[in-house]
Amino acid sequence: MSKFIFITGGVVSSLGKGIIASSVGRLLRNRGLSIFMQKLDPYINVDPGTLSPYQHGEVYVTDDGAETDLDLGHYERFTNQSLTKLSNITSGRIYQNVIKKEREGKYLGKTVQVIPHITNEIKEHIKKAAKNSGADVIITEIGGTVGDIESLPFLEAIRQIRRELGEENTLFIHTVLLPFLPSSGEMKTKPAQHSVKELGSLGIQPDFIVLRSEKNINKDIRDKISLFCDVNIEHVFVCKDVEIIYEVVLELAKQKLDEQICSHFKLETAPLDLSNWELLIKNIKNLKQQVNIALVGKYVSLHDAYLSVSEAIKAAGYKLGIKTNIIWINSEDVNEGNVFGMLKDADGIVVPGGFGQRGTEGKIVTLKYARENNIPLLGICLGMQLMAVEFARNVLNLKDANTIEFDENTSNPVIHLLPNQYKGIDLGGTLRLGAYELELKETSKVFKYYKRFPLSERHRHRYEFNNEYISSFINNGMQITGINPKIKLVEVIELDNHPFYVGCQFHPEFKSRPNHAHPFFLSLVESAFKFKK
């Protein structure tokens, strides 16, 4: 039977609960335990797919095509384990399931209520993750902050699970912020105490507490929390801000969090071996070289909107011993007149994915500049589609070339919709979502970095390269180096006679890990470094 860890947060949001949950996952894996991670989001949206990146940052896509919360990206990067649709559920989805059952008459005329119907649905979801994964430990993060109205059914559900399965099989970890007051030079524990009290009023007494703060926390403060919150002192952990998020794993290991978890569950495991993680941190701290990579997108004011992309760029640098400085450039600010100035410090450029026309003309200007000036560039999804548009307009001389996402009536739809090719494919609405096979030509600049075959990459888009243009692209120097072998769709384009001008229809960033950099980003950063030299 699986053991269950529930991670809640108190005092404020954006505490880094996701990173703590991910670190717990990494620690347990390095003790030889199998794990499965999930995030329960209390908001009413059915999934984060339709949320603006300004709201919750990027939408992370799993192999099986779930559009999920960005915390799942942390989970996968920290634990190097691919998650599934069972890894993320929202209140909206829970209610949708319950209302569907009610309409189908499944509740046999009963009054449908939050307790037990909504809470049962939540519990079922948690237990299904355990059943399907068969993992030793299920780590479930509850989104939001204790005290939010929306979180109540989730907290009630985990309270019931503790009742059903007992203390030995369940563990509550509550993470709280300890604010520092500069005027009195003090760390304040009162908000944390109140948050634990609030949790207690819902029937949950945390087993462990993780204190988040910007500064070191001394023993007196830990003692105080232990006393006032009724948690053993060896179960009060400290997680202060660190420069490299992956270091949280080592910090928590030093405080024996994994040991305490195993002893709570009475789990016998191999001793903790963190050598792979220590090596990663050592590499990150010893980056000898530097490159500047410009990230040209429309949501750059919120870095979380491109979290996986920026982590993938950094991971490539970790592997190559290069510190990657990301220059965040709002594509809406770029035009023909200023592009040289704006990109003068860039050794390489990434044009990431996106939806909608806003900011795309600046991306096209950026692409032309990189193509003509031999600057290494990686275009992802919409970035790749715009590479095709720019190439068609300026090299093939098809002045009105466009994607039909922005001009339905263009006479040169180089990016279009293929209704017939979607037959038999589950599109999850109308988007192509999740992992699809990739056949990459050996001539691709990226090929050498792929170690395992066959290849599969994750998608999240609606429009496709129009195969009618393949021959004129190839004849004019834009090669098609990657295709989907089953449905013959263009997956990768790259320019001849350019150090690195590569576009991919999929999102390589979702498969990058800090200690397994992704081939597309490795190639970009390597080319950028050569360009710099």
Catalytic residue among 381, 457, 494, 498: 381
The one-letter amino acid code at 285 reads K
In whole angstroms, the minimum distance from the beta carbon of 382 to ligand GLN comes to 3
Instruction: Give the shortest CB-299-to-ligand GLN separation in angstroms.
Output: 12
Question: What is the Cα–Cα distance from 373 to 370, expressed in whole angstroms?
Answer: 5
Q: How far is the CB of 431 from ligand GLN (least distance, A)?
A: 7
Beta carbon nearer to ligand GLN, 365 or 433: 433
Q: What is the DSSP letter of 455?
A: E
For residue 49, give the DSSP letter. G
Please answer whether residues 427 and 453 qualify as being in contact, where contact means their C-beta atoms are separated by less than 8 angstroms: no
Q: Which is nearer to ligand GLN, 18 or 352 (CB)?
A: 352
Closest among 179, 174, 178, 180 to 158, alpha carbons compared: 174
Nearer Cβ to ligand GLN (22/366): 366
**Tokens encoding 73:** 């990206």
391: enclosing H helix or E strand: helix 382-394
Q: For residues 440 and 51, what is the distance between their CA atoms, to the nearest angstrom? A: 33
Active site residue 229: no
125 catalytically annotated: no
Distances (CA, A) of 263 to 3, 57, 98, 235, 259: 12, 36, 37, 11, 6
Q: Decide: 292 and 64 in contact? Cβ < 8 Å.
A: no
Smallest gap from Cβ 421 to ligand GLN, in A, equals 14
Residue 427 CB, nearest approach to ligand GLN (Å) = 12
The single residue of 56, 174, 461, 507 carrying the catalytic annotation is: 507
> Smaller CB distance to ligand GLN: residue 355 or 531?
355
For residue 374, the minimal CB distance to ligand GLN (Å) is: 25
Supply φ then ψ for residue 339, to 5 degrees: -60, -40
Binding site residues, ligand GLN, CB under 6 A = 353-355, 381-382, 405, 460-463
- Complex with ligand GLN: residue 29 or 459, whichever CB lies closer: 459
End-to-end CA distance of the chain: 56
Q: Active site includes 264?
A: no
Calpha distance 295→309 (Å, rounded): 9
| Residue tagged active-site, from 58, 156, 509, 526 | 509
Check residue 173 and report its DSSP letter: E
In sequence order, the 6+-apart residues with CB closer than 8 A to the CB of 477 are: 395, 495, 496, 497
Q: Which is nearer to ligand GLN, 291 or 381 (CB)?
A: 381
Q: Which residue is nearest to ligand GLN (CB)?
A: 353
- 116 prior amide bond cis, ω within 30: yes
Instruction: Point out the residues that are catalytic.
Output: 381, 507, 509
